Amino acid sequence: MGMALKNVIFDLDGTLIDSLPGIEYSVDFALRAEDYPARTCDVRPLIGPPIRDTLRAISGETTPEALDGLESAFRRSYDTEGWKRTVLQTEASETLAWLSASGLSLFIVTNKPRHATRQIVEHFGLNDFFADVVSPDSAEPNYRSKAEMLRRLMQAGSVRNSDSLFVGDTHEDAEAAAAVGMPSLILTSGYGGFRPTHKQPDCRVVRTIGELKIYCSSPTEGSKQP
């Protein structure tokens, strides 16, 4: 993968933060508010895609009107109380400070809406680390995928696929990076239960975000997928 690295782009949920406690809280609120049975499944493996997909999988609901109701109830809860249960991943702040001090430009690309993302980033004092933060609703119409959000950064001119790295925790993250020709680094400790495949040739894996410091010190090292 050897390259002159200038930019590191981060996914948020499962990568920089542990949002599971808040998402569980607000999913359970939405189910109660919309008169659905109590949740019996684990939310963790469902985190990553847009929350509407998570609510569809948990509730079994398919009609747009019902999903609108669930999503609206989730947002009421998450945007006021749920997000406050977020936990910063171990070594996240230290790693961001190290990367920034090393002269790298840092960005966030996330499926989490802009309002909640801003609250979380401000709450943990991470604002100054990031040159830009891109959410689906950072544009109108909304971005439909992380690949579209990555392209937005590239079109702005400061990010090129040849000198940038996308750090995430799911197959969606690896596939988004591959779609724009960008290398990816996937954390196996995140939500995605990531297992490398031959379809992602420019993807490496590490367990925790702290290992990113070693990786960026020696970009040719690391655990390259088979």
Give pLDDT tens digits for 13-59.
Answer: 999 999 999 999 999 999 999 999 999 999 998 987 889 999 999 99
Q: How far is CA 9 from CA 34, 147, 183, in A?
A: 36, 12, 11
Domain, as residue range, for 36: 20-85
Look up the CATH number of the domain holding residue 152.
Answer: 3.40.50.1000
Q: pLDDT of 112-125, one tens digit each?
A: 999 999 999 999 99
Residues of the chain above pLDDT 70, percent: 91
Same domain, 50 and 99: no
Same domain, 125 and 161: yes
Rounded to whole angstroms, how far apart are CA atoms 74 and 11?
21
Q: Is residue 1 part of a domain?
A: no
Same domain, 55 and 167: no
Closest CA to 167 of 197, 199, 190, 198: 190
And the tokens for 86?
């977020």
What is the value of pTM for the model shown?
0.87
CA-only gyration radius of the chain, Å: 17
Same domain, 55 and 93: no
Q: Are 9 and 150 in contact (CB under 8 A)?
A: yes
Same domain, 48 and 92: no
Q: Is residue 149 part of a domain?
A: yes
Domains identified in the chain, total number? 2
Query: In this predicted model, which residue has the larger pLDDT, 226 or 197?
Result: 197
Same domain, 34 and 133: no
Look up the CATH number of the domain holding residue 67.
Answer: 1.10.150
Q: Are 77 and 61 in contact (CB under 8 A)?
A: no
